[in-house]
């Protein structure tokens, strides 16, 4: 049930009426079992990351044959899918950090060598600029949010050891 609520919130977070997403975040904050919230958010994060990675992999190295008129719409779809799920990933990242359950997300995000290669291939191609110009910003925002979460954890733990 909680997973279904997360999916609904993800898909409605850009809706003009943010009341549902805000109520959902409040529900998660007040949820008595933090471990259940963590598991569900981790699962949603992994799922969205998987879709982003697969979409960029398909964009970077298409395995289909045909002329350009067939290839271009598929490439556009791959980029739009990556962008949409990248936004979902960013929203999840922000919620995980807010609830202090982003441990797995930090580890998972930092271990993405193949994803980085696909991003580099995609960004070498100028087509993405016309299709999803905001994609690099979404990826960078996820990276920055997770890096800031790590920095906050490190700084907080160091402050505890100062004499």
Q: How confident is the model over 112-147, as pLDDT tens digits?
A: 899 999 888 888 887 788 889 999 999 999 999 999
State the pTM of this model: 0.77
Which residue stretches of the chain have pLDDT < 70? 1-9, 11-32, 62-69, 152-163
Q: Which of the 8 DSSP states describes residue 132?
A: -
Residue 12 to residue 56: CA distance in whole angstroms: 23
| 71 contacts 64 by C-beta, under 8 angstroms | yes
User: Two tokens at 144?
Assistant: 């920055």
Per-residue confidence (pLDDT) for residue 158, from 0 to 100? 47
Question: What is the predicted pLDDT for the residue at 47?
Answer: 93
DSSP string, 33-92: -HHHHHHHHHHHHHHHHHHHHHHHHHHHS----S-HHHHHHHHHHHHHHHHHHHHHHHHH
pLDDT score at 127:
78
């Amino acid at each position: 049930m909680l997973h279904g609520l997360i999916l609904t919130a993800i898909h409605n977070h850009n809706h003009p009426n943010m009341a549902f997403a805000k109520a959902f975040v409040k529900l998660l904050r007040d949820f008595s079992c933090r471990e259940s919230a963590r598991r569900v958010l981790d699962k949603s994060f992994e799922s969205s990351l998987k879709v982003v990675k697969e979409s960029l992999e398909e964009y970077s190295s298409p395995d289909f044959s045909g002329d350009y008129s067939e290839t271009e719409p598929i490439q556009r779809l791959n980029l739009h899918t990556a962008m949409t799920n990248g936004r979902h990933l960013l929203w999840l990242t922000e919620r995980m950090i807010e609830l202090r359950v982003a441990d797995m997300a930090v580890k998972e995000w930092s271990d993405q060598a193949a994803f980085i290669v696909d991003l580099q291939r995609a960004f070498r191609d100028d087509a993405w600029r016309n299709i999803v110009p905001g994609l690099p910003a979404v990826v960078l925002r996820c990276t920055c949010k997770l890096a800031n979460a790590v920095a906050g954890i490190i700084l907080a733990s160091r402050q505890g050891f100062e004499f």
